[in-house]
Amino acid sequence: MSNLLHGELSEAVINAFYHVYKTLGYGFLPSVYSKSLALTLSKRGLKVSSRAPVKVFFEGEQVGFFLADLIVSDKLVLLVTSTEAISGAANSQLINYLRATPQEVGLVLNFGVTPEFSRKVFTNDRKPSLHRPPPKQNTDDTENADQH
């Protein structure tokens, strides 16, 4: 994974995911897995933000926010689930999280009967919501005029 965007970080998170799964097994709520994963990642020296508020923009204006399960090293958005399998809805939710944030890589980590993950990439050059219109420039030259 090292040649992928944030591949080494993704690999470190996936290793921590399997460690948590092997330790806790199946059957807990996503919040238990999320807290355990945050603890594991922190112990491994990574910066982790839990339930981080993320602003959502539309045409340059903030229209809401959501709470990301985890953001790791300001680079990865993690969506933690504990369902039978990763759903299309979970993958779509992660893509929307990536669309709304400056993070370009995300992982759905499913602590289901069988542990599984899904990795998504959505690069910032494809995110019009992050590109705010430039500030209006002053067209009144009176500020720059010489005072006599």
3-state secondary structure the chain: CCCCCCHHHHHHHHHHHHHHHHHHCCCCCHHHHHHHHHHHHHHCCCCEEEEEEEEEEECCEEEEEEEEEEEECCCEEEEEECCCCCCHHHHHHHHHHHHHCCCCEEEEEEECCCEEEEEEECCHHHCHHHCCCCCCCCCCHHHCCCCC
The pTM (predicted TM-score) of the whole model is 0.81
Per-residue confidence in pLDDT tens, the chain, 148 aa: 668 888 899 999 999 999 999 999 999 999 999 999 999 999 999 999 999 888 887 777 888 888 999 999 999 999 999 999 999 999 999 998 898 888 899 999 999 999 999 999 988 888 766 555 444 444 444 444 444 4
Over the Cα atoms of the chain, what is R_g? Answer: 20
The tokens for 35 are 């807290």
Tokens found for residue 57: 């923009």
Burial of residue 17, with CB atoms counted within 10 A of its CB: 0-12 exposed, 13-18 middle, 19 or more buried:
buried
Scanning the structure block, which residue is given the tokens 């998504």? 120
Domains, the chain: 7-131 (3.40.1350)
